Amino acid sequence: MKEYQVSNLDELQHFAQEFVSAYTEPGVFLLNGHMGAGKTTLVNALCKAWGIEESSSPTFSLVNEYANKDGIRIFHFDLYRLKNIDEALDIGFEEYLDQKAFVFIEWPEIILPLLDRYVEISIRAEGQIRLIQLKEH
């Protein structure tokens, strides 16, 4: 497990640059943290590190898709409003996993049975500092 401390947006962007350098192959990344911990802010920083300037929360759309000029694709899910795994299957969740893309999932608990390998990104707020832990499963 790796742990990072981030206390401002510049440090978050530095972390994002390190992340995209370390994770060069598409995969599934689960975002865990309380409401307001910074999950969406982290995904926005990662998008920026990949050269994607416009990104936003998928709270109402459930998933946002981004691509950069090099063809790197990102799917950002917010599953907070889903009640069960069937609702995830109804939106075609498994089809997103089959594509060569970086898949970031907020509130991932209900889809865990569908996943074999993933990286868990836990964000914990301690005052103005965010502790970010990465753990591969």
CATH code for the domain in which residue 116 is found? 3.40.50.300
Report the number of distinct structural domains present in the chain.
Answer: 1
Question: Which tokens hold the place of 52?
Answer: 């994607």
pTM of the predicted structure, to 2 decimals: 0.93
* Residue 136 forms part of a structural domain: no
- Work out the average pLDDT over 66-95: 95
Instruction: Give per-residue pLDDT as tens, 33-46.
Output: 999 899 999 999 99
For residue 19, which of 98, 119, 96 has the smallest C-alpha distance? Answer: 119
* Residue 63 forms part of a structural domain: yes
Rounded Cα distance between 114 and 30, Å, is 13
Rounded Cα distance between 37 and 107, Å, is 12
Instruction: Give per-residue pLDDT as tens, 20-30.
Output: 999 999 999 99
* Residue 26 forms part of a structural domain: yes
Specify the pLDDT at position 53: 81
* Residue 1 forms part of a structural domain: no
* Residue 110 forms part of a structural domain: yes
* Residue 89 forms part of a structural domain: yes
Q: Which domain covers residue 23, as residue numbers?
A: 6-131
